[in-house]
């Protein structure tokens, strides 16, 4: 996979904060802290979120890579402090030792089915599974949303915009089409579940209430739509250059995601070929275009120039208020899994995280295709390619 744009996240859920280092953004891009904060705040919302979101006010500190509001082309590092850190300083201290500071606090030894706890503990040889869960936690996604916001800012310069919405929570499904998302985006942004259909949303809320009463959790499906992609991002020539594969990798790497589909996705497997492919047309103004967009904007691992439509399924969060059976890793006795404070449903947050990883992958493909060390140089290359595409 191309490394022209890459990033690394660091940080534990209850440590001092989350850090992301993003390399490969060209120089000369205007960027404001509040632009990143907007997406961080969006990630914190959604009906069904837990108490942690009452504590945190995710705001970014720009550590490097910018001067006077513009990128320098050097690595950008962003830090999001954890406000909850003040309550965890002893238990999560990078220094000292357990005996002195926290001997009275029991180890986390009852792994939650579905979480990284058990396998992570075996793999890294930990007896305290907190060492696993602190990093496996979906809190890490705050760092990815920050990096995604920088990529979104870059994409804006090329007329690319990214949207998302929730289409399913448990068995409750919004059947509306992605084609209506833009016209209803204000409602989606201001609704408790990022859902387009108000009536379905009410049912979803009831279902979340029911899950909470049961001490249970819920997953669902979200959709990310990206508009304005030029044709030809990604490539068919090598497996790890294919844009659909790279998007799926990014989305699958989000905690609790268990499936990805693009365009018609799994439904495409149920139909005849003539009902699945998108017929090609041409007119002088638009150049080549498709008469439909069932493929979701990607053919042969490359963007077609039509809207990118990608959906992801999230499993219910594995921390249950009414825990499932587990085994204590020290006593080997059958016990109930540990209870941690957690969300009942975090699908709306996952949809915002989905936007971020899609922004990162599209930005990477744009950097690969149009290169340039400065934004101006990248733009010149882009405009020249777009002129060629139009005149073909």
Q: Which is nearer to ligand EPS, 145 or 375 (CB)?
A: 145
Residue 52 interacts with ligand EPS (CB under 6 A): yes or no: yes
Q: In the complex, what is the shortest distance from the CB of residue 119 to ligand EPS, in angstroms, rounded to a whole number? A: 15
> How far, in Å, CA of 290 to CA of 294, rounded?
10
Please answer whether residues 64 and 44 qualify as being in contact, where contact means their C-beta atoms are separated by less than 8 angstroms. Answer: no
Tokens of 222: 């979200």
Q: Which of 341, 380, 387, 390 binds ligand EPS (CB under 6 A)?
A: 341
In whole angstroms, the minimum distance from the beta carbon of 280 to ligand EPS comes to 43
Residues in region 293-332 near ligand EPS by CB under 6 A: 317, 319
Q: Which is nearer to ligand EPS, 271 or 341 (CB)?
A: 341
Could you say whether residue 165 binds ligand EPS (CB under 6 A)?
no
Return the residue of 39, 343, 361, 368 that touches ligand EPS, per CB under 6 A. 343
Burial class (CB in 10 A: 0-12, 13-18, 19+), 41: middle
Cα gap 297→278, rounded to integer Å: 10
From the list 1, 6, 41, 50, which residue makes contact with ligand EPS (rule: CB under 6 A)?
50
Which range of residues in 189-197, 236-244, 295-303, 334-342 is near ligand EPS by CB under 6 A?
Answer: 334-342
| CB proximity list for 326: less than 8 A, separation 6 or greater | 110, 111, 112, 113, 118, 334, 335, 336, 337, 338
Choices 65-73, 89-97, 286-294, 338-346; region in contact with ligand EPS by CB under 6 A: 338-346
Q: Which stretch in 96-104, 133-141, 228-236, 282-290 sits in contact with ligand EPS by CB under 6 A?
A: 133-141
13 binding ligand EPS? (CB under 6 A)? yes
Residues at the interface with ligand EPS (CB under 6 A):
13, 50, 52, 137-139, 142, 317, 319, 340-343
């Amino acid at each position: 996979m191309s490394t022209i744009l890459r990033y690394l996240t660091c940080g534990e859920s209850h440590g001092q904060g989350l850090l992301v280092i993003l390399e490969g953004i060209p120089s000369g891009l205007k960027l404001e802290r509040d632009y990143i904060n907007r997406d961080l705040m969006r990630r914190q919302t959604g009906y069904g979120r837990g108490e942690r979101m009452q504590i945190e006010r995710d705001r970014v500190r720009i550590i490097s890579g910018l001067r006077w509001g513009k990128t320098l082309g050097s690595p950008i590092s962003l830090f999001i402090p954890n406000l909850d850190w003040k309550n965890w300083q002893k238990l999560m201290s990078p220094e000292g030792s357990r005996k002195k500071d926290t001997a009275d606090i029991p180890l986390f030894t009852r792994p939650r089915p579905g979480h990284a706890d058990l396998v992570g503990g075996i793999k890294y040889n930990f007896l305290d599974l907190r060492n696993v869960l602190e990093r496996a936690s979906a809190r890490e996604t705050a760092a990815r949303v920050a990096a995604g916001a920088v990529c979104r800012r870059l994409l804006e310069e090329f007329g690319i915009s990214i949207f998302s919405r929730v289409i399913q929570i448990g068995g409750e499904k919004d059947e509306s089409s992605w084609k209506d998302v833009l016209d209803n985006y204000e409602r989606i942004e201001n609704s408790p579940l990022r859902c387009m259909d108000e009536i379905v949303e009410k049912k979803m809320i009831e279902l979340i209430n029911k899950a909470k009463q049961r001490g249970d959790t819920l997953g669902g499906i979200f959709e990310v739509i990206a508009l304005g992609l030029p044709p030809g991002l990604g490539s068919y020539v090598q497996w790890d250059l294919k844009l659909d594969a790279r998007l799926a990798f990014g989305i699958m790497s989000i905690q609790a995601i268990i499936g990805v589909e693009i365009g018609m996705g799994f439904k495409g497997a149920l139909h005849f070929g003539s009902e699945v492919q998108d017929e090609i047309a041409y007119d002088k103004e638009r150049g080549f275009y498709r008469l439909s967009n069932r493929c979701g904007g990607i053919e042969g691992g490359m963007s077609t120039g039509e809207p990118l439509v990608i959906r992801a399924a999230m499993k219910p969060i594995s921390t249950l208020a009414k825990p499932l059976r587990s085994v204590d890793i020290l006593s080997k006795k059958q016990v109930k899994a540990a209870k941690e404070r957690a969300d009942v449903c975090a699908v709306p947050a996952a949809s915002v995280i989905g936007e971020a990883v899609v922004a990162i992958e599209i930005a990477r493909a744009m950097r690969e295709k149009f290169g340039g060390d400065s934004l101006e140089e990248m733009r010149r290359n882009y405009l020249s390619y777009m002129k060629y595409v139009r005149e073909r």
